[in-house]
Amino acid sequence: MNTLIINGAVNENGECRKLIDIFNKNLGAEVINVYKENILPCADCGECRNGGGCVINDNMNNIYDKIVNADIIIFASPIYYSAMTGVMMNFLSRFQMFYLSGAKCREKRAALLLTGGGATKRTDYAEHQLKLALKIINAEYVGLTAYINTDRQSVIYSEETLRAVSELKKSLYGQNP
């Protein structure tokens, strides 16, 4: 199965990346670090309504094909103020091209990986944001794994999170790949 992981973390060696690496073990999925990509926000210009795709000339144009061709997409982000990072929201805003152009994606499955610490305890805002975007790309939301304790302990030491990742992979693939 063609799996794509979208990393919305700014810190490339942080807890979110560690959670991605745990999930990606034995998968070898491509990871796109949206913070490192040249991706502008949707300009709401409406040009995609004409069926020619997005007119913004940036790296998102290469990523659209990867989204269309993926069987499974994993979205990963730290949560700040109970929401996904700004770079992830910027990335998701570009799904507007699919919506306005009427471009159809074949069915796919998706899941969410979240990390957080401090006063952040809620994951429902981030989950809601992603579910809205997934409707646009014809993706079934399978679930999330969240580790909300990064200020006290690394995700790599959380047996509970390791089990949750394993269960999420079973839900996505039918078994651990």
Q: What are the domain boundaries of the chain?
A: 3-173
Confidence label for 146 from pLDDT (cuts 50, 70 and 90) = very high
Q: Is the pLDDT of residue 177 over 60?
A: no
Q: Which helix (H) or strand (E) holds 76?
A: strand 72-80
**Dihedral sign for Cα atoms in the order 142, 148, 150, 156:** negative
Burial of 93 (0-12, 13-18, 19+ CB in 10 A): middle
DSSP state of 156: G
By residue count, the chain amounts to 177
- What Å distances lie between residue 114 and 48, 106, 109, CA to CA? 31, 26, 17
CATH number attached to the domain at 3-173: 3.40.50.360
Chain segment 2-16, per-residue pLDDT in tens: 999 999 999 989 999
Exposure string for 102-136, b = 16+ CB within 10 A, e = fewer: ebebeebbbbbbbbbbeebeebeebbebbeebbeb
Chain segment 74-119, per-residue pLDDT in tens: 999 999 888 999 999 999 999 999 998 877 788 999 999 999 998 7
SS3 percent helix, strand, coil of the chain, rounded to 5, is 40, 20, 40
